């Protein structure tokens, strides 16, 4: 979507990314970013958002050969969002990318568009983790797929990192989300326990960053350190905010944080 300014905590296809992987990663980012905007941005009604997301899903699936379970060599038909699908389909085919993670992402965005208002929320950790399973974990699994890392241990650790990053983003954006009538803090959680939960998940998945080879491993180390740095700032501001703060401070990563993150990535050893 045009005219929308996005702040990103974590790098997308940075200079550490191998050149051959930049096109699929950037195409995936464009797909996810556009779908997220359809669910969140602008003044559209919930019904209009859902209709747009369904159309977005239909166009994605038009590039998939359901009989052979592969992406079509000629791609699909993109009457809308050609800037997303024209670069996306060839990359999905080139890497023999599975369809299911992309559909999971869209399912989570449709949940966002559908479930808005004070009556909606997450009852407990399991409910929020199920959302993260669809909204965040598919991105990590797709990146591992592009990197050629596909063993079950790595996938599980990637899920933990991605869920942790999603939680950190929720806690960081809590004031903005509440203004949109979305409360991602489970009703069973306090602010302090929610921060500790995100840190535990990150430490659970962090060993993956030492095992992924080459530049991808170094980029993953920086992503982990960036998430932990944001989380540390949230934890430092937690005393005195109460059990369910309405507008906690919103930390950001900036240029001044880069040397510290690089230092920590160089010398860091996961538990």
Closest Cα partner for 35 from 22, 52, 18? 52
Percent of the chain predicted with pLDDT > 70:
91
260 versus 249: the higher-pLDDT residue is: 249
Top-tier CATH class for 119-271:
mainly alpha
The CA distances from residue 177 to 24, 45, 69, 169, in Å, are 30, 17, 37, 10
What's the pLDDT score for residue 9? 47
R_g of the chain, CA atoms, integer Å: 19
- Asked whether residue 254 carries a pLDDT value surpassing 90, the answer given is no
pTM score: 0.89
Signed CA dihedral, 184, 186, 190, 194: sign only: negative
157: Cβ contacts below 8 Å, ≥ 6 apart = 204, 205, 206, 207, 208
The residue length of the chain stands at 271
CB 141 within 8 A of CB 69: no
Question: How far is residue 174's CA from residue 169's CA, in Å, rounded to a whole number?
Answer: 8
Q: Where in the chain is the domain with CATH 1.10.600.10?
A: 119-271
Q: What is the mean pLDDT of residues 9-35?
A: 80
At 93, is the pLDDT very low, low, confident or very high (cuts 50, 70, 90)?
very high
What's the pLDDT score for residue 13? 43
The pLDDT tens digits of the residues spanning 125-162 come to: 999 999 999 999 999 999 999 999 999 999 999 999 99
Closest Cα partner for 136 from 181, 104, 88? 104
């Amino acid at each position: 979507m045009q005219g929308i300014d996005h702040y990103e905590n974590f790098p997308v296809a940075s200079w550490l990314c191998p050149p051959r992987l930049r096109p699929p990663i950037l195409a995936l980012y464009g797909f996810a970013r556009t779908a997220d905007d359809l669910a969140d941005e602008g003044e559209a009604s919930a019904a209009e958002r859902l209709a747009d997301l369904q159309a977005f899903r239909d166009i994605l699936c038009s590039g998939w050969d359901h009989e052979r379970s592969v992406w079509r060599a000629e791609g699909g038909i993109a009457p809308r969002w050609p800037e997303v699908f024209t670069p996306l389909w060839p990359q999905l085919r080139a890497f023999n990318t599975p369809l299911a993670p992309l559909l999971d992402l869209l399912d989570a965005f449709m949940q966002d568009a559908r479930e808005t208002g004070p009556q909606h929320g997450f009852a407990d950790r399991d409910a929020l983790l199920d959302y993260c399973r669809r909204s965040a974990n598919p991105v990590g699994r797709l990146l591992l797929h592009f990197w050629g890392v596909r063993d079950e241990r790595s996938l599980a650790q990637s899920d933990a990192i991605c869920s942790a990053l999603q939680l950190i983003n929720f806690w960081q954006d809590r004031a903005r989300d509440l203004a949109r009538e979305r409360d991602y803090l489970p009703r069973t959680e306090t602010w302090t326990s929610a921060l500790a939960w995100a840190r535990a998940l990150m430490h659970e998945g962090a060993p993956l960053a030492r095992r992924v080879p080459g530049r991808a491993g170094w980029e993953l180390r920086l992503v982990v350190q960036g998430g932990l740095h944001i989380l540390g700032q949230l934890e430092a501001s937690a005393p005195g905010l109460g059990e369910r703060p309405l507008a906690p401070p919103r930390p950001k990563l900036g240029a001044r944080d880069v040397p510290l993150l690089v230092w920590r990535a160089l010398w860091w050893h996961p538990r």
